[in-house]
A and B are shown apart, each in its own frame.
Chain A
Amino acid sequence: MTVLKSVAILGGSPTDIVIEKDTIASIGPTTKPGVDCSGLVALPGLVDLHTHLRQPGFEASETVLSGSRSGAAGGYTALFAMANTMPVADTASVVEQVLDLGQRAGYVQVQPIGAVTKGLAGTELAALGSMARSKAGVRVFSDDGMCVYDPAIMLQALQFVKQIGGVLAQHAQEPRLTEGAQMNDSALATELGLTGWPSVAEESIIARDALLAEKTGARLHICHLTTAGAVDVVRWAKKRGIFITAEVTPHHLLLTEELVRSYDPIYKVNPPLRQVEDTVALQEALVDGTIDIVGTDHAPHSEEKKDCEWENAAFGMVGLENAASVVQQVMLDRGASWNDVARVLSSKPAEIGGLSNQGRLEVGAEANITLIDPSASREITRQSHSASTNNPFNGYTLPGQVVHTLFRGGFTVQDAKVVERD
C-alpha cells in the first residue's frame, strides 16, 4: 500500500490518495502514514501520443528503455511509439517486439503505433488488421515523418482504420511543396538562404484529409500543428462535425524560427519552427480546445546527426522531459487550470489512443499518477535520461518539476530521481 499525503489533485485542496497494488483504492483524508506530497499537484499520469523511441534500428539515438526512463522523468506513464523504426513497424511482429521491449523496460506503458503504409512509402497499405489483432492491439496508425500524401491511399486507409475502430494520425506535409525544405518559408529563410517549408503545405493536407474523414466517417488526428492557418482549418472541420483531433508540440508552442539564425541544427525540426504569430495562435487554440493535446514528437538523434551542416543534419528534438513544464507555463499563464493541463497531457491523448487504463485519476482506476511541484523553477540543461541530448530548451528556465511518477502503483520517479529497477 502506498499513501500520498496532502496532495492537490488537479490543483484542488490537499487530500490523500491511497493506492493498493496497482489501483487507486481511495481518495480523501486518512490517518494512514505515507509520502508527504504537500505543495505537489497530482495529475493523471501523462500520456504522449507521439514519441520516437527509435528501437528497433536506431539504438544509438534511443532505446525503448532509455526513452521510457526519459518519459518517466517527464511524468509520463504511457508513450505511443511511432512506427518509423528499422524495420518499420508495419507488421504484427514488429509492433509485438516493441510492446515486449516496453514491458521489459517497465517504466511506462509503451503502446506501439502501426504504420499506415508498407515501409512508410505511401503506396501500399501496411498490415493494419493484423497489427490491430496482434498482442499490441494497435489502434493508432501513422506514417509520421512521412505524409500519407496519395489521396486514394489516404481514403482507403481511413476506411480501414474506421472499421478497426482506430485513428489515423497524419503528418500533414504536402511533399511536392516541401522538396528540400529546411525551415519555415519566410523572409528569414530568404535571408539565410535556406529552402522554405510553406504553411500551405501543412494546411492543404489538413483540409483535404478533413474532407476525406468526413466522407468516410473515420477518426483523423493531425500530428504537430504549427501554423495559425492550420488552427483555422481544424476549427472549421470541428464545427462541421468531422471527427478530427489535433496536436501541438512543446517546441512549436514556445520557440520561433528566429533560432535558426544560429544555423545550429539543434533547432532543425519537421515541421519547422514558425513565427511568433503562429505560436500565439497555437497557444490560444490549446487553451480553447481547438487543439486537443500536446504530443512531444520526442525525436532523439545522436550527436553526429546534429553536429554538422544544417542541411545535412537530421530533423527533430527531444521533448519528454520538458513538456509538462512548457504546458504549465503556456496554459496557466493564459488562465487555464490544472484540469486543462491534465486534459491536454493525459486524459485526451489516452482517449484518442484508446487507452482506457490511462488518463484517469479516480477511485478504481489504475494508479498512474504524476506529481508536480509547480513552484519549482529549473534551468534546462542537456542532461537527460534520453540517450540523446538534442534539446532545444537547453539554457531556458522553465517552471515546474516532476517530483514523483507512479506507474501501475509503483514509483518510477521518486524525489525527482528515476528509480533504478533490477
Chain B
Amino acid sequence: MRHLVSIADLNLDEATYLLDNAQELSRINEREVKKLPALTGKTVVNLFYENSTRTRISFEIAATRLSADLINFSASTSSLSKGESLKDTAQTLEALGADAIVVRHPMSGAAHQLAHRGWISSSIINAGDGAHEHPTQALLDALTIRQQLGAGSDLRGLRVLIVGDIRHSRVARSNVLLLKLLGASVEVAGPATLIPEGIDCMGASVSDSFDESLGRNPDVVMMLRVQRERMQGHFMPSEREYQQMWGLSRERLKRVRQDAMILHPGPMNRGFEISSEAADDPRSAVLQQVQNGVAVRMAVLHELLAGDKS
C-alpha cells in the first residue's frame, strides 16, 4: 500500500490486515514504555489546512510512538496562509524529506490529488478532505466495534445506524464504505435536506425516522457531529426541531438495546445531537474510539512506511 486516500481503495483483506495490526499495536498503550523503533529515520508531516486538534494530535502520537520524526505544518502558521498552491507546498515538503504526508483539507479530493497528480511521490494519508472521506476515522470506528461486538475478524451481520448530517459528513461516507466492506448493514438517518443524493448507491439504506430506525434494534448507533450554523437556514428550521427529531435524547437512549454501542467521532455537542446521558452511558464507546485512533494511525503509518509498497 502506498497511500490511504479512500476506503474505496481497500479490499477486504487489506482492511482486515490494517485492523488486525491496529489491534496488536493497541496493546502498546498498556505498556510502561509506549514506543517502538519501527519508523526510526522516517519523517512524517502533518499538513493541516483545517484546524483539528484531536486528529492532528492522534497522528502525532501515532508517529512518535513508532519513532518517526514528526513535523506539524498548519495553515495558520505557514506559507499556506500566504497563498502558496497545494502543489508547491507538497513539493516543498517532499524536498525537505517528507516520507509521508498526513493531509487534512477543507476541499474534497485534495488528498487524492496529492497522491495521484504526479506532483510528489511521498505517501499520502487522508486525514479528512472536505465532505469526501476520513478513512482513519472509519477504521478506528470499525476497530472499536470489532473489539466489542465482532465475532470474527469482520462485522458480518451487524446492523449500524448512522444519524445526523450525512450530506456534509466525510465520516459517514468512509464509514458506509468500510462497514459494508466488512459485512455490516448500514442505515443512515437524518433530515431529508441532509441526506445526499444517491447515498443508497454507496450501500446504505435511508431512514426517514430515528424512532423507526431504533425500532429495528441496531447493534451500533453512531451519532454525527452537527454544525449548529447549518441549523438556521434551509437545511433545518431550527436547532430545537433538529434536536427533537434527530437527537439521541434521554428518552431515545432507553430504546437503544442494552448490548448495543453508541459511537460519536467527536467533538460532541452535548445536549444537541447527543444528550449527556447518552454520552456518558456505559454503552458509549467514545473514549475507546479515541484510543483506537492512535492504534489505527500507527498501523496505517507502519504499513505505508515500512510495509510492502507494491
Cβ 8 A contact of A192, one of B108, B117, B199: B108
Which of A181-189, A236-244, A378-386 lies on the face that meets chain B? A181-189
Q: Mark B200-234, 1 if CB is under 8 A from A, else 0.
A: 11100000000000000000000000000000000
Question: Residues of A within 8 Å of B, CB-based: how many?
Answer: 23
Say whether B173 contacts A307, CB under 8 Å: no
Closest to A196 in B: B197
6 additional A-B pairs beyond A190-B196, A263-B113, A308-B86, beta carbons within 8 Å, are A182-B108, A190-B173, A190-B198, A191-B201, A309-B109, A312-B107
Any B CB within 8 A of the CB of A304: yes
Say whether B129 contacts A193, CB under 8 Å: yes
Any B CB within 8 A of the CB of A311: yes
Q: Mark A294-332, 1 if CB is under 8 A from B, else 0.
A: 000000000010011111100000000000000000000
Closest to B167 in A: A190
Contacts of B129 in A (CB 8 A): 193
Query: Shortest distance in angstroms between A273's beta carbon and chain B's nearest beta carbon?
Result: 15
Query: Shortest distance in angstroms between B89's beta carbon and chain A's nearest beta carbon?
Result: 11
Contacts of B133 in A (CB 8 A): 193
Q: Mark B101-117, 1 if CB is under 8 A from A, else 0.
A: 00001011110110011
Any A CB within 8 A of the CB of B87: yes
Query: Shortest distance in angstroms between A47's beta carbon and chain B's nearest beta carbon?
Result: 37
Any B CB within 8 A of the CB of A131: no
Question: Residues of B within 8 Å of A, CB-based: how many?
Answer: 27
A residues 330-384 near B (Cβ < 8 Å) are none
Q: Mark B87-109, 1 if CB is under 8 A from A, else 0.
A: 10000000000000000010111
Query: Shortest distance in angstroms between B281's beta carbon and chain A's nearest beta carbon?
Result: 31
Distance of A304 Cα from B198 Cα, bound (Å): 33
Say whether A190 contacts B109, CB under 8 Å: no
Any A CB within 8 A of the CB of B264: no
Any B CB within 8 A of the CB of A269: no
Cβ 8 A contact of A309, one of B105, B131, B170, B200: B105
Distance of A192 Cα from B173 Cα, bound (Å): 9
Query: Shortest distance in angstroms between A37's beta carbon and chain B's nearest beta carbon?
Result: 43
Any A CB within 8 A of the CB of B130: yes
Distance of A6 Cα from B112 Cα, bound (Å): 53
Contacts of A307 in B (CB 8 A): 85, 87, 117
Say whether A190 contacts B105, CB under 8 Å: no
Instruction: Tell whether A187 pairs with B86 under 8 Å between CB atoms, given A192-B108, A193-B133, A311-B108.
Output: no
Instruction: Tell whether A191 pairs with B105 under 8 Å between CB atoms, given A307-B85, A308-B87.
Output: no
Contacts of A262 in B (CB 8 A): 112, 116
